Structure formats: structure tokens, C-alpha cells
Chains A and B, each alone.
Chain A
Amino acid sequence: MSGFADNLLHLLWTFAQLSVLGFGGGKGIIPQMHYDAVTRYQWVTSQQFTQFYTIGKLVPGPTTIFAALVGYAAIPGRPLLGATVATIAMFVPSSAIMVAFDALWVRFQASPWRVIIAQGLAPAIVGLVWSSVWTIARGVAVSWVAYAVAAVVTVLMLRTKLSTPVLILLSGVVGVAALR
């Protein structure tokens, strides 16, 4: 029973930290989330992590909602509890900061620090996104078909107006045919 409570607390604490550190729309938290969920606590495998991230991209709303799926897998006896705790931990702390900041915003708006902080953080966030590529790639099937699909999707995303869900679902069709 204490293992259960410990696990729940680890889940809460892990995602609450990620929530508070999720600058740049949460784009940069994927490598740390992978380290915590796969390497440190072993709630999910690398392959599951990548597939959950994929589901997060597929469903409407923020991608980081896939925290719910990590929580679902983390508490085997009570998946709904795990999913709920992970989601609350992922979204409530950052939301509280956003709401609390509203009062300061009027002063911050005219300050040069607004642009300096946003622009200054950008290289680190983009570097974290590049690291996410590596993180997500670790859970992708080791197969030339999978890498070809990824390459084609990259080109289609940059060169066409096809939406994210359409590109993911088309990749799924290729997967059914060639990655079973």
C-alpha cells in the first residue's frame, strides 16, 4: 500500500515540476519527461512513451495531455486515478502561475524584459525540441520503413498544408501495411 502511495506522490511531483518548467508552450519538457517516466520510475517503455506522445499529438488540445496516459500506465491497479493525478499535476500549477501573473501583466507589458526573456529563452527551448527528436526517435521501430515515413512526413509538414492528425493517420495506414 505504501508503494501505491509513493508511486502516486512521485507521479504528482514529477508532473508538477514539468508543469512549472514548461516554458515555450511545454515544447521543451519531453526529454525530462522521458527520463522520469522511462528511465527513473519505469512507468512506461520508450516505445509506449513515443506512442503516447503520438496520441497526444493526434487528439485535439495540448499535446502534453499525454501525461494522462503515462499516469494511466503508472498506477496499474487504478489507471483512472493515475491519469487524473498526472493531468492535474501537469496542468494546474502552470495555470495557477498564468492566473496569478495577470495582476503583474499590466506592468510587465511595457517592460523591455518582456521581449528579452521571451527571446532569450528561445534558443534553449529550441535546443530542447531538438533533443525531443532524439527522445521520440528512441521509441520508433528500428526499420527503414519507419524512418522513410518520418522523412516524408517532415517534408509534407514543411511543404504542404496537411494537418497534424491527417499526417499521423496517413502514417498509421502505412504502418498497418508495412510495420506489423
Chain B
Amino acid sequence: MDRDCFMDGLEISQILPGPNILNLALYCGQRVRGVPGAVAAFLGASIPPFIIVLIAGALYFKYSANPFVQGALRGCAAGALGLTVGNALELAWDERADWARIVLLALTAVTVSLLHMPLLLVLVIFGGIGIVHQYVTTRRPKQ
């Protein structure tokens, strides 16, 4: 597999549903050995995290009542919130060049947070508006 092929895999991994790392593993597996390669990549990329998270889960349910563990979990959760905020800021910063995209982003966030709009509808309505907007702005310079 050459570098271009890897970059293509990364790009398609980011477009299609599913975790990027898992999708990239599937892409590489399929390129090298076809569907059996993809199956092997799936197992290799999902079983180790599954086992680790199961161990974490067993420990969680056994010890989460302990005040020290509860303190650690509360601290870790606050840290994860901070990471999510950082991630959201970085992603929004990437959209800053186009005010229409910022408005769409804010509308999505408010609608989902306050009205609990179902994910499918969010993707159809706000994703759809975004795709139409992108289509129009991509075509405009050529005309």
C-alpha cells in the first residue's frame, strides 16, 4: 500500500459513518486481502479495546461506590468535558471563514440541545442545508 492509497483511505474513513481508526483499518485490510482482510482488520481493531473497556467496566461496577474512586471518576469526567470543549472549539475554528456555516453550526447545536431533535432529522435537515450550501458555493466561481 502506497502513501496516496493510505490518504484516500483516511479521507473515505472520515466521510462514511463509523470511527475513523476502525474504518481506516477496514480499508487497509480490504486493500491488502479483500473482504477476509477487512474481517481480520475489524477483529484486530475492535476486540482489544472491547476487552480493555470490559475490564474497566467490571472495575467500575465493583468500586465506583468507594469515595476515592468516585472522586477520581468525577475528576476524570471534568477532564473529559474540557477535552470535548477543546475539540468543539477547534472544529468551530475551522469553519470561521464562512459565516453561513457558523450560523448552521449554531442552529444545529441549539436545536439538538434544547429540542432534542432526532439525529436522523438533524442530518437530513442541517446536513442537507450544508450540502446544498456547499454545492452552490463550489459551483459559483465556475459560472
Choose among A60, A64, A126 the residue that contacts B105 (Cβ–Cβ < 8 A).
Answer: A126
Q: Counting chain A CB atoms within 10 Å of each CB, which of B48, B67, B88 scores highest?
A: B88
- Is A157 in contact with chain B by the CB < 8 A criterion? yes
Query: Are B45 and A80 in contact (CB-based, < 8 A)?
Result: no
Residue numbers in B under 8 Å from A140 (CB-CB): 74, 77-78, 81
The answer to whether B48 and A141 have CB atoms under 8 Å apart is: no
**Interface residues of A: mostly helix, strand, loop or mixed?**
helix
**Known contacts A122-B101, A126-B92, A91 near B16 by CB under 8 Å:** no
A12 within 8 A of B: no
**How many Cβ-Cβ contacts under 8 Å join chain A to chain B?**
347
- Prevailing SS type, chain B contact patch: helix
A29 at the interface (CB under 8 A from B): yes
Of all chain B residues, the one with the shortest Cβ separation from A69 is B57
Interface size on A, residues (CB 8 A): 109
Interface residues on B, range: 35 or more
CB distance from B53 to the nearest CB of A (A): 5
Please judge, given known A-B contacts A132-B84, A150-B85, A153-B83, whether A102 and B17 are in contact too, CB under 8 Å.
Answer: no
User: Complex Cα distance A131/B12, Å?
Assistant: 25
CB pair A149–B88 under 8 Å, yes or no, is no
Contact of A116 among B72, B102, B106, B131 (CB under 8 A): B131
Q: Which 3 A-B pairs have the closest CB atoms?
A: A175-B75, A127-B108, A171-B79
